[in-house]
Chain A
Amino acid sequence: MASNHSTEEQRPVRHKVEGPKKHIISFIFSILLTLIAFAAVAGGEINTDFIYIILIGCAILQVFVQMAFWMHMKDRGHTFAIIGILFGVFVVFTCVIMAEYWAWW
């Protein structure tokens, strides 16, 4: 009991719980990126390849923001989480490139 108490008091800084601010900023950022993506498609008149680049760019950026802040990947102790996800992403890219190659060339 006493030892528990002292360990809690050794790190008082960590008791300052993060506010909702950065999550609301992430949310607004996500909404903006989504709006850009939808507007690029609804707007029409742009070059198709250019729209594709905008779409993929917005998606990757949004996922990066959400994983860093909402899934807490920017916090300490997430090394294995990052390795796990990166390995998954590596396999995904292999699959996608292979499937595209098989389908189009």
Chain B
Amino acid sequence: MSAHSHTEGQLPHEPEKATLEGRNKILGFWLFLGAETVLFGTLFSAFLALRDQVLDGPKSQELFELPLVALATGLLLTSSLTSVFATQALHMHKVKAMIWWLVVTVILGLGFLGLEIYEFSNYVHEGHGFTTSAFSSSFYTLVGFHGAHVAFGIVWISLLIGQLAKKGLTVTTAPKAYVAGIYWHFIDVVWVFIFTVVYLMGKVG
């Protein structure tokens, strides 16, 4: 026992995989992510098919501002790094460090969400509403759906922070935190394709 500095002396090395329930949660979550991949894939395919149908609305080349997208990308990418640090703290059984990394992750996520809301309101002012064209509808559906996932992740991780602060790290709370980390990375992975396919390819034309 003396080799471990954590307070619950029985906590195993990878507490998220210590119980069958924990392992099942992680497996089930991966299957969920497979379904999420399909969901985003259909939205991407709709966007790719419709992105040139702009009617009287602005084209993607006129609309998108790369500095803003680059800043949002930087925020989300950094938040993915801080969330992997939280998972590492989990494996080291350092609850406090873990909570702080999760707090940083949530703050960066909020920054990303704020930028997206600012961006969308700018677009609407420039005459790029949801019903302006097939391009605008598929754009808002795809990027907005990703934004909704970010918002959901922020709420989820915030609640987890509260639970971790209250109950500490146990074989029950560990799988939740681990799975939330995987979810956050997945959101970042989807964003990689969004900034590539929607923004950069939209800018190229």
Interface, chain A (partner B; CB < 8 A): 4-5, 8, 11, 14-15, 17-18, 20, 23-24, 27, 30-31, 34, 37-38, 40-42, 48, 51-52, 55-56, 58-59, 62-63, 66-67, 69-72, 77-78, 80-81, 84-85, 87-89, 91-93, 95-96, 98-100, 102-103
Say how far B169's CB is from chain A's closest CB, in angstroms.
14
Closest 7 CB pairs of A and B: A92-B41, A88-B37, A84-B34, A99-B45, A103-B49, A88-B34, A81-B30
Q: How large is the interface on B (under 10, 10 to 19, 20 to 34, 35 or more residues)?
A: 35 or more
Provide the bound-state CA to CA distance between A18 and B89, in Å.
10
Render B26-39 as a binary contact track against A, CB cut-off 8 A, 1 for contact.
Answer: 01001101111110
List B residues 1-37 near A (Cβ within 8 Å): 1, 3, 10, 12-14, 17, 27, 30-31, 33-37
List B residues 173-205 near A (Cβ within 8 Å): 182, 185-186, 188-189, 192-193, 195-197, 200-201, 203-205
**Which of A15, A63, A96, A100 contacts B41 (CB under 8 A)?**
A96
List B residues 40-69 near A (Cβ within 8 Å): 40-42, 44-46, 48-50, 66
CB–CB B66/A41 < 8 A: yes
Provide the bound-state CA to CA distance between A102 and B196, in Å.
22
Interface, chain B (partner A; CB < 8 A): 1, 3, 10, 12-14, 17, 27, 30-31, 33-38, 40-42, 44-46, 48-50, 66, 70, 73-74, 77-78, 80-81, 84-85, 87-88, 91-92, 182, 185-186, 188-189, 192-193, 195-197, 200-201, 203-205
